[in-house]
Structure formats: C-alpha cells, structure tokens
Structure 1
Amino acid sequence: MNAVKAGIEYVLVLSVLGATGYFLYTKAVPLLTPPCSTSVEYSIGSIDPRYGLSTSTLVSYLKEAEAPWNKAAGKTVATYMETGSLKVNLVYSEQQAATSLGKNIDADQKVYVAAKASLESLRRAFEQQKNAYEAAVASFNAASEAYSAEVAKWNARGGAPKEIFQQLENQKRSLEARQASLARDAADINSLVTKINQGVTALNAAAKKINAKVSTYNSAVGDDFDQGDYVSDAQGKRINVFEFTKAADLKRVLEHELGHAIGLGHVENPASIMYSYNVGSGLALTEEDVAELKAVCKIKS
C-alpha cells in the first residue's frame, strides 16, 4: 500500500500599495472685487455620472461646507442659488479612477485573505489526516508482518491446530478490513489534496490579478495631485473637484474651495480647512481659518 504524497506549493508576494501622498489644493486666485462684499452664489455645473452622486446630494454637501464660513463671518458669505455664477463641478479624473481602483483592490484583497485562510484550514486538515493515516499504515504493516510470521511458523510445522488456524483466519479477515479502510482513507486524502491544489491554483490566479491592479494603481497615483481647485478666469468662476474617497472627504474639499471663492488664502496649520494639503478631518474651522476669514473680510473681533 503506497503512502499519499501531496504536491502543495505556492509562493505569493503581493505588491504593497504605493503611498498616494497628500492631496494638494491649488492656491487661491486673486479676486477683482473686494472679498466678502457680496455673498458668493454657487450652483451645480456638471457631475460626472461615474461618481454616482445626485445633484441634490451635492447641494446638501455644499450647504454643510458653507455653514462654518457663514457662521464664523456672522453673515452669509456663500450660498446656493440655482442660477449662481460660481459653478461646482465633479470631474472624474485619473486620480479618481485610481482611487476607485484602490477600493476595488481592497475588496479583492479581503476576498483573497479569506480564501487563503480557508485554504490554510484545508491544509491543516490534510496534515492531520495524513499523520493519522501514516500512523494507521505503520500499525497495519506491523500487524501484517506479525500475522505473516505466525503463518510461516505454522506452515513450517506442517500446519496449525484447528483452534490456531481459526485465530489466524480471524486475523486475516481483520487485516483485510483494515486494509479496505486504509484504502478509503487514502482516497479521501487524495481527494482533499486535489481540492487543496485547485484552491492553490485559484488563489495564485487571484493574486496575479490583484498584483496587476496594484501595478496599474501605483502607476496612476503620484506623490501629489490636485484634489480640487478654484478657478476665476475669462470663462467664469468654478470649483472643480477631481478626487475624493468618501462623503466626508468631499465636504472638506468643497469647504476649502469655497474658502478660496470667498477670497481666503492658505494658512499654516495642518489641521485647518485652508491648509494647502488635505490632511485634517471634519468641517470645523481652526483659529487660523477664522483669523484668515476675518482678516480678508475685514471683520472686527
């Protein structure tokens, strides 16, 4: 009876997602009219359908983004109007495509990790069954050798007495039953090996696809890129948002760009809305944000 050998071997090295760096805001464009002399009236320009965001949802986000500025100013410095001259656009950029791909990679990796854990569980089951099988085979072989030696002894004497002969017959039937059981165990183990090897093949194929996506992602995302900008030129005034990961991220970008539309420049506190990089969280204004607003709008404390 042959021992079972499992050909299980896989080596997977997933690429590490490249750091996206920080999201860079563009600088404010100097205004031709005195800041805060009139309320900035904005409206919705265009929303790329790939964002899956409705006009009403974007308007609600913008109202959340304008609220801190209006409260700090003690008056309305930014407000939504259907005919507002400042157009807010969601532009589906290469960076957003990379962000979406990054989310897809995260989902794929979770599935991969779960599949790998399941495969490792099967491998542990295989090791347990293989060890038990090998121990059973060793025990069977020892019993078989003892039986053969006993048969040879009595054959050398010209035959065994009836009682001994019956005992040997019983041992033979027991050994045959054990052999049949071992054959079934071997079939079960070989079936498990086939299942494991199929899982390894599928897992390696999944890893290959993930690594290809990671390579695309790393190539698409640079160290710094514009997450949004405010533009005022001959074509009009507009806020363009190029990338965001979630609603809270989008609201913060909108609040920053509305600040530029009001006339504010960048401040030095990394936690501030008007810091040049989007590294903070939430919509609350910092002391530096409020100081910049009051200085630009000439609001007395």
Structure 2
Amino acid sequence: MSSECSEPITWRIGTIDSRFNIKETELKNIMRNIENLWSDAVEKNLLQYSDSGEVAINLIYSEEQKFTDNEQKLSEQINEMRKKYYSMRVDYQQESVRFREKLNQYNTTFTEYANKVNEYNLRLSRLTNNGIVSRDDDENLKNLKKEMEFLEKKLDPLEEELTAEEQNLNRLSEELNDYADEVNEYVFQYRNRYSQSRTFFQGFYTNVGNQKKVNIYQFENLDKLKLVLAHEFGHVLGLSHNENPVSIMNYNMRLQNEERLKLSDQDIQSIQNKCGLSQTSR
C-alpha cells in the first residue's frame, strides 16, 4: 500500500457560525459516516478525528447560505399558507353544502305553501261563485287556511337562516379569493427570486502554507452537508474530480442519493489507486 495511506489524515472542528444551527456532535456524527465511507473502500482507516487535527472544518455563513435560508423560509411560508388555504376551502365547501340544504328546505316549504295558497284561492272562488257554503266546506276552508298560516310561519325563520347562510357563504368566498390572491403573490415572488439557476460553491479544500482547511459555505440540510463534506474530504485524500455523474467526486454532485450516500466504482477505483491497492488484488 502506498505510504500516502499509511497513516490516517486527522481532522478537527474549526469554526461553526451559529446561524447554521448545527451542533459539534452532529458534525462529528456526519464525519464518522464519511470516515467509514472512504475507509471501507481500502479497508484501512484514512480519516480520523483529533482535537489538534491537521485539517480544520469551518462552517462559514455566506451570502449563498443566506440565499438558501431565505428560499427555505419563503418555501415553508408558502406551504403553510397553502395548508391554510385548503382548510379555508374545506370550510367554504362545507358552508356551501349547508346553504344548499337550507335552500332546498326553504324551496320545499315555499312550494308547499304556494300550493296551499292556490288550493285555498280555488276553493274560495268556487264557493263564492256557487253562493252556497256548507258547514263541511267552511270547515275545510278554515283548516286549509290554518295550514297556510302554519307554513307561512315556518317560512319566516327559514328565510332568515337562509339569508344568514348566504351572507356567511359570500364572506367565506371573498376571504378565500383574497387569500388565494395572497398565496399566488407569494408564489410569484418565490419563482421570480429563486427559479433562476445559480451556481453555489458549497465548499473548498485549501492547503496554503501547510494550513489545511475544509470551508463549507452553503448547504440546505444535513444530508447535503454530508455530501459536500464527503466530496471535499475526497480532495483532502488527494482525489480529483471524475466524470461519473453519480460519483461523490463528480464536480456537480447533483445525481447523488444524499440519504444513502455511497461511492461509485470510479470513486472506489480512485481511492484504491491513490493508496496503491487495486480491486483485483483485494
């Protein structure tokens, strides 16, 4: 095995900007995963933590990270607004159902009332034309009038309830439309600000005056941080970029499965070559 891999390269935690909201223990856990990732490829410890490690990891809050944080905040705000909008829409739909039920009830009662009025007027006209009103006719007419009056009394509160439901439905409709406009305005702002592609230099490995640093400037979440650290520590180990789009050492890193990070065949071949170990000799 090459002397380059005879001893592990030690690393330490330098500075962590508090705006990243990440603890040293979290960063150490991530680095333990990265140590295993590279070391397993050669079955030898390549990276190791030390309080006085030769490579300092610095999380430096940059304009790129500010841009990312603002994007995430606006995205989260839009998601919360959409949840509220969907809840408001459910309320509106439920109110629409109640209004239709009240309207159907009112229309049914009104139709029944109108039929009674027509029947009463027809009977009264017929009896008036005949000029003779029997006791039964008079009693039937009085009963019909009572039914009319009963239905008429039912109509008044139904009409008041229907009016209140309609007003409430109109209010909810206006609120829903206004809020939809507000959500759309935020979505427009988001697309206007963040839909344009930007190239972020998420991290760099530097070795100037034998001062070795891995500076991280931007990441969206801990999985993204693990990916960029794995890439930069590939450089620490002496590896260059490769053209495989799924490689950790690809300059773009867009096709990596961040949640299940693993080395590509090219990554493994590169680190084995660096350490003087070929796959066939293992």
Q: What TM-score do you get using the length of structure 2 for normalisation?
A: 0.80
> Which of these two proteins has the greater Rg computed from alpha carbons?
2
SS in 1 for 2:57: strand
Displacement, 1:123? 1.8
CA contact (8 A) 2:92 2:172 kept: yes
AA aligned opposite 2:84: V
CA contact (8 A) 1:96 1:242 kept: no
- Give the Cα separation in 2 of the matches to 1:298 and 1:265: 16
- Residue aligning to 1:265: 240
38 and 57 in structure 1: CA distance in 2 versus 1, 3 angstrom threshold: closer
* Higher-helix-fraction structure: 2
- Residue aligning to 1:15: none
SS in 2 for 1:191: helix
219 and 298 in structure 1: CA distance in 2 versus 1, 3 angstrom threshold: farther
Tell which deviates more after alignment, 178-187 or 127-136. Answer: 127-136
SS in 2 for 1:43: strand
Matches within 5 A, 1:34-73: 39-49=9-19, 51-73=20-42
Unmatched segments (≥5 aa) in structure 1: 1-33
- Residue aligning to 2:80: 107
- Give the Cα separation in 2 of the matches to 1:199 and 1:260: 59
- Residue in structure 1 matching 2:152, options 179, 184, 187: 179
CA contact (8 A) 1:267 1:292 kept: no
Q: Across the two proteins, how many residue pairs are aligned to each other?
A: 266
- Give the Cα separation in 1 of the matches to 2:4 and 2:189: 43
Matches within 5 A, 1:279-294: 279-281=255-257, 282-294=260-272
Q: What TM-score do you get using the length of structure 1 for normalisation?
A: 0.76
Displacement, 1:68? 0.5
Runs of 4+ in structure 1 over 6 Å off: none
- Residue in structure 2 matching 1:78, options 47, 50, 58: 47
Displacement, 1:236? 5.6
Percent identity at matched positions?
20
Greater RCO, 1 or 2 (C-alpha within 8 Å, sep 6+): 1
Displacement, 1:98? 0.4
Matches within 5 A, 1:1-301: 39-49=9-19, 51-84=20-53, 85-89=55-59, 91=61, 92-158=65-131, 160-221=133-194, 222-226=196-200, 228-232=202-206, 234=208, 237-244=213-220, 246-275=221-250, 276-281=252-257, 282-301=260-279
Aligned-pair Cα RMSD in Å: 2.8
